[in-house]
Amino acid sequence: MSSKAAPSASTAAPSASKASAAATKAVAIADFAYSPSSLTVSKGTKVTWTNDDSAPHTVTSDGSGPLHSPSLDRGGSFSYTFDSAGTFSYYCTVHPNMHGTVVVK
Ligand SMILES: [Cu+2]
């Protein structure tokens, strides 16, 4: 009946051994441009785009990439966690001259 063996730890840290407090990065969308337009992050980084423009914008991968945001109105945001390395280029479907790149290492 030992009630001594404390049922250890509900310290809520399941990440003990894996190095990573999930990194986050932000990209602003303003003046019809992504800022920064080119971003380099480590695998596992969560990137959040926030639209600061009055016009709607999207974050949409070139080709078959993984980014498919809805149309973001002013103040709207979209996040994606990059779990694999590579170069992810994207554009705005509303303004196809807007381009950005995320490089994941
Ligand atoms: Cu746009």
What are the pLDDT digits (tens) for 58-76?
999 999 999 999 999 999 9
Which tops the pLDDT comparison, 73 or 16?
73
Q: Which domain holds residue 29?
A: 24-104
Establish how many alpha carbons lie within 13 A of residue 86's alpha carbon, considering only the half-sphere containing its beta carbon: 10
Residue 76 lies in a domain: yes
Task: State the distance from the centre of ligand 1 to the C-alpha of 15, rounded, in angstroms.
Answer: 37
Q: Among 11-20, 22-31, 72-81, 86-95, which stretch is predicted with the lowest mean pLDDT?
A: 11-20
Mean pLDDT of the chain: 88
Contact at 8 Å (CB) between 6 and 45? no
DSSP output for 70-103: -PBPTT-EEEEEE-S-EEEEEE-SSSTT-EEEEE
The reply to whether 63 falls in a domain is yes
Q: Report if residue 84 sits inside a domain.
A: yes
Are 59 and 47 in contact by the 8 Å Cβ rule? The answer is no
What is the CB neighbour count within 10 angstroms for residue 76? 17
- Ligand 1 centroid to residue 64 C-alpha, Å: 19
Residue 98, in any domain of the structure = yes
13 in a domain, yes or no? Answer: no
> How many domains does the chain contain in total?
1
CATH number, domain containing residue 59: 2.60.40.420
In a domain, 47, yes or no: yes
Helix (H) or strand (E) holding 38, with range, is strand 38-41
Look at residue 95 and tell me whether its pLDDT is greater than 50. Answer: yes
Compute, in angstroms, the gap from residue 47 CA to the centroid of ligand 1: 18
23 Cα–ligand 1 center, Å: 26
Contacts of 19 (CB under 8 A, 6+ apart): none
